[in-house]
Amino acid sequence: MAYNIINLLKSKSFAEPAKISFEDVFFNRKNILTTFLNSYSYSKARKDYDLFRQLDYILYDGTFIVIFINIFLRKSVRRRSFDMTSLAPKLFKHCTKENRSVFLIGAKQTAIEKAVVHLETAYPGINIVGFRGGYFESKQSRSNTIEKIVNLSPDFLIVGMGTPLQEQFLVEVKNNGWNGIGFTCGGFLHQTSNSLHYYPKTINKLHLRWLFRLYDEPKLILRFIKSYSIFPFFFIKDYIKHKK
């Protein structure tokens, strides 16, 4: 297990600078699935090699994990996140300019409805061909949603269900015949239901997004403390086993 996760990170990381542009890799191809790891989701990923090996790219959402990847794996990576401080505005601008279609799924139904309003206001003409909340009433409801997405065949599928549910959903849609570009987005849709720009500019500039998140969602404090304290132990343990 440990050997596999380190090798996955080595093979599926997007090193920068690269010979080809970020946009050419992630926006202008088909059949590409990308997820984002932080200190919390790393502990989930290391337990589920068979799932994460089916993804094409792993990017890193957090300065802490980026430091470890760059030092131990000798990769030139930088923080990438599916939110308005990083990847999301680039993708939505691309979709609006090139008339590429998007399907959004995640958060509660009321939250994603508000998020869609904010996105359509900020990006007039964006082609959101469908959206729904990320909670399913039954297995049949999930299957119906997957079938709908496959039939709609959106260019981009954005999934925010938390790790590993969002990765599982992306892989399942792909295995059912969809061949677009998929991204996980964690809590982005929930956050966007309140405001398009979740993080204040000063907070983002000072790289204090984690602190603002804890202020806004204090229920995450215990998870944050636990994940950041055990991540170095897990990562170094995995790395040492990988080197043997």
What are the start-end ranges of the E strands in 61-196?
101-106, 127-132, 156-160, 181-184
Low-confidence stretches of the chain (pLDDT beneath 70)? 1-3, 206, 210, 214, 220
Residue partners of 221: CB distance under 8 A and separation at least 6 = 214
The pLDDT, as a whole number, for residue 61 is 93
Per-residue pLDDT at 220: 67
Q: Which amino acid does the sequence have at 212?
A: F
pLDDT the model gives residue 1:
47
Q: Based on the number of CB atoms within 10 Å of its own CB, is 222 exposed (0-12), middle (13-18) or buried (19 or more)?
A: exposed
CA–CA gap between residue 96 and residue 123 (Å, rounded) = 7
In whole angstroms, give the CA distance from residue 166 to residue 217. 21
pLDDT of residue 3: 55
- Residues 65-79 as b or e (16 or more Cβ within 10 Å = b): bbebbbebbebebeb
What pLDDT is recorded for position 225?
A: 77
Residue with tokens 């957090």: 62
Tell me how far apart the 2 most distant CA atoms of the chain are, in Å: 54
Q: Which residues contact 239 (CB under 8 A, 6 or more apart)?
A: 6, 72
CA distances from 43 to 6, 69, 82, 157 (A): 12, 15, 20, 25
Per domain, the residue ranges of the chain are 24-243
Strand pairing category for 101-106 and 156-160: parallel
pLDDT of residue 142: 97
